[in-house]
Structure formats: structure tokens, C-alpha cells
Structure 1
Amino acid sequence: MRGLTKRFGAKVAVDDLSLVVPAGCLFGLVGPNGAGKTTTLSMATGLLRPDSGGVRVWGHDVWRDPVSAKALMGVLPDGMRLFDRLSGRELLAFVGSMRRVPSSVISERSGALLETLGLTADADTLVVDYSAGMTKKIGLACALIHNPQLLLLDEPLEAVDPVSSQGIRELLRQFVDSGGTVVISSHVMELVESLCDAVGVIAAGKVLAVGPTEEVKQGQSLQDRFVELVGGPQHVAGEAMAWLGRSFDSN
């Protein structure tokens, strides 16, 4: 990503942002609410056109050569809308066919993905009846069905239970160990710290720090380093919140 900029009216959501994600890396993108993470990923995946700047995926320009660039990607946007009147199995078959995956391969991969993500028992249930966590998991399966080289995941473990979360962590690590590249946007510092090889911290649409996770942490927890970089919370004066914690009997 080179010089990415995106404005919404007077608000600059992403401000001349440049970021290089090494191949074969599990990369975490973190930042406070409104930092520009989702906008950045949307531009990187061709979902949102930047006002200026560009994105290349293995040499393919996302906006000048979108077919070649997007063929290499698997994408799980935050709040992705799915064809939820299909069952989980049908949705994977549909997405696989759109990705031009042979039907026999779709069947094999679908079975493996559904089992790995704990969805086999609900494979023939309509996606509209899935829980939030199940919807997130079937979205991840859709991103993987064509065996991409690059995964871009916005909050992939949001609403996912701890058992499934562990399974997804292991799946992503296996994907990277096999030569894939993953970019994760997350608010969960423990996830990024424990899983990611490298991390980028952004705020106000700018990169504040980027590099191997241990280097960015500088001997602190990622949570503490993150707060140090973006600025700690604004503490409310004691008198302003003095009512909090008083006995309800005094009302």
C-alpha cells in the first residue's frame, strides 16, 4: 500500500498511508475505533476506491488489474453480507463456482472447511439461521474455498466461541506455514500478540509503528505499547463521576 488517502467530506479517514506486508507473514493491523483500519482494508481489497495512492498484490495493481489481483485474495470484510438464504454447503458451492473452482474440488474442500470450522452439523442449515459466530466462520470458509495466496480478515474472531477461536488460530497458522500470507484487523491485542509475526499500529489514518511484533512491543505487552502509541484514555475528573458506585439506596 503506497500513499493511500481517503476522505469522507471533511474527514480524512486514511492519510497518505504506506504499508508493506511481507509474503509468508501473519500480519496484525491494530488501531483505536475510527483509526481507518476497515477503510484501509477496503481499499486494499478493491471494495473502496482510494482518493489517491495505490495497492499492489504480488505486482498486480488492485485497481488497474483487479481480476488478477483479486484472484490471489480471500477476503472477510467486517459485517459482510452473505447470500443467507442458501445453506452453508450451498453457499460454499456458490462462492467456489464464482471462483472457478472445479465442482469436485469444491465438494472436497467444503467438507474439510465445514469440519475444521465446526459447521458440519449445520452444513444444510440456512445461513440466515446461523448465529453471529457461525456466520463469521462460514464467511471465513468462503474466503478460503479457492485456496488464495493472501487472506485479509477484518475482526475474524469477533463473536466466535473460544473453542472455535482456537481452531481458527491453528488454521491460520497452518495457512501461513504452508506459504500463505494473512492480514488480520483486530481490536483484540492478545490475539494479535500471540498469533501475529508482525504488526502495524495506525491511528487517525496514519501508521504509528510497524515491524516484527517483538520489535513493536519494545519489551512491553502489546496492549501497553498500543496505549502508549495512540495515547491513553482521557480520565474523567473524580468529582464528575463521583456518583458512580454510590449506594443505590441513596437515590
Structure 2
Amino acid sequence: MLSNGTDLLSLKNISQNYFQGDSIIKVLSELNFSVKGVKNIGIIGPSGSGKSTFLNILGMIETPTSGEYILQGKNCFGLSQNNKTEIRRKFIGYIFQNNQLLEDFNVLENIAFPLILNGESFGKAKQRSLILLDKLGLINKKFLKPGLLSGGEQQRIAIARALIKNPVLLLADEPTGSLDKNNSSLVMDLILSLTKKNKTTSVIATHNLEIIKRLDVCYKIEKGKLIEI
């Protein structure tokens, strides 16, 4: 079972290639990465450098061309799709660039959804969701559908949904990209507070240098490899 520990995860010799006609696009090249203990980690690099691909591999959304993903001593790429899905559902939180909210659900239902998938009653899931909504200053939006929210509000809801289940690993792709300075600071306060409280390791891809300053360590993706800066 996935749990916090001294060796949470490691990527070994990860390469990811994409094919475009007869051409091979090499995005990641024999990349190595490991996390010991609980940390907030930043990933930077220009657009197209492979930040999103890196996060997708960590979240087992993508399988790389070659390499190993060791999670608590187990090679995740050898797991069945059902086992991968179970790990993602229970232990990994995602904040996507395009938020991926459920348009037919209201705000409260969107946030509570991961808890309900994990077997929690709607009553308890609702209570926990309301607490997060209050912290984000969106309690008055709880019954609205995502389409009635601003882009910044939608992203804050997506962040709340990712954090609601207290994940062991939080993966965030530009989590404050659509927020103004004040809301960006508010959201990072919440992310860092909850990751500290729940001993969650976060990996955050961002262009925002103010976010990078608040994290424990930062890596740059360059020529398909990770370089600590």
C-alpha cells in the first residue's frame, strides 16, 4: 500500500518518445528523480520541455518509452491497470491546467466526488468540502455549476478537489496559472498548509517564480533531464 516514508518514489532512466510521421520527438531522456521524505518540489522549464509529460508519468497517466517507476519499492509499470487506477484514486491528487471539472455537477459535488469514489458517505464528503470552500472564499458558490464560474474560480475548485482526499502525492500543473496575485497567494497558502498538515509530497510545475521561492527544492527540465537548481 502506498504510504508516507523515507523513500516515497523514484524514477529510473525514464525516456519518453513521441512519433510524428517518420520523426521521433524525444521529450525525456534517461531522466532520474527520487523523493525522500515529505517535500514541496518545483519543476520549471519552457513550454514544450516535458513538464506535463513528467507529471503524467508520476501520476501513471502515461507509460514512458523506457525506464522504471519505483513507488514504495514496487515497480508501478508492472502493475495492472486496475491497480494503477486504485493507487491514483486513493493516494494521488491532481491539479490540471484545464481543471477538468465535471460540468453536470455543482461546485460542492465536484469537490466531494473523489471522497465518494473512495467510499465516504455524501454527508461526510459534503462537510469536508464545505470547510475547504470556506477557506477558498467560495462558500457562496457551492450550488453553482462550473460554467457559471470565472476561470480563476474554476481553478480554485479544481485545487480543492485535488486536496480534499489528503493525497500522499499531489501533482500540480500550473496550479495558479489563471489566478491573480492575491488569489494565487491564497491558493499556495492553502496548498502548503495542507501538504504540511497531511504530510503530502507535492510536485508543482510552474512558471511563477514567487511559487518557486516557497518550495523546498526546484528542478529544471533541460534536454530531457532534470537538473536541480
Contact 1:34 1:204 in 2 (8 A): no
Partner in structure 1 of residue 62 of structure 2: 48
Is 1:83–2:93 an aligned residue pair? Answer: no
Is 1:101–2:126 an aligned residue pair? Answer: no
How far the C-alpha of 1:128 sits from its partner, in A, is: 1.7
Which structure is larger by alpha-carbon Rg, 1 or 2? Answer: 1
Distance in 2 separating the partners of 1:129 and 1:204: 41
Partner in structure 1 of residue 13 of structure 2: 3
How far the C-alpha of 1:77 sits from its partner, in A, is: 2.2
Deviations 1:66-90 (A, max 9, x none): 1453221111122242211211012
Partner in structure 1 of residue 218 of structure 2: 199
Is 1:28–2:47 an aligned residue pair? Answer: no
Paired amino acid for 2:155: K
Distance in 2 separating the partners of 1:45 and 1:165: 24
Q: TM-score, normalised by structure 2?
A: 0.84
Find the residue that maps to 2:144 and give its secondary structure: coil
Q: 1:183 aligns with which of 203, 207, 217?
A: 203
How far the C-alpha of 1:116 sits from its partner, in A, is: 1.2
Is 1:127–2:146 an aligned residue pair? Answer: yes
Contact 1:62 1:69 in 2 (8 A): no
Contact 1:45 1:62 in 2 (8 A): no
Is 1:143–2:162 an aligned residue pair? Answer: yes
More strand by share: 2
Contact 1:88 1:123 in 2 (8 A): yes
Deviations 1:11-68 (A, max 9, x none): 0111111111233111101111111010110111011121111223334543314145
Contact 1:3 1:54 in 2 (8 A): yes
Distance in 1 separating the partners of 2:84 and 2:224: 24
Partner in structure 2 of residue 174 of structure 1: 193
Distance in 2 separating the partners of 1:135 and 1:62: 32
Partner in structure 2 of residue 69 of structure 1: 87
* Structure 2: runs of 5+ lacking an equivalent: 1-10
Partner in structure 1 of residue 33 of structure 2: 19
How far the C-alpha of 1:188 sits from its partner, in A, is: 1.2
Deviations 1:126-169 (A, max 9, x none): 11222111111111111112111111111001111222222222
Between the two proteins, what is the percent identity of the paired residues?
25
Q: Runs in 1 of length 4+ with deviation above 6 angstroms? A: none
Paired amino acid for 1:134: E
Distance in 2 separating the partners of 1:22 and 1:176: 15
Partner in structure 2 of residue 248 of structure 1: none
Find the residue that maps to 1:192 and give its secondary structure: helix
Q: TM-score, normalised by structure 1?
A: 0.77
Paired amino acid for 2:41: F
Distance in 2 separating the partners of 1:13 and 1:185: 16
Contact 1:14 1:206 in 2 (8 A): yes
Find the residue that maps to 1:20 and give its secondary structure: strand
Distance in 2 separating the partners of 1:54 and 1:119: 41
How far the C-alpha of 1:182 sits from its partner, in A, is: 1.0
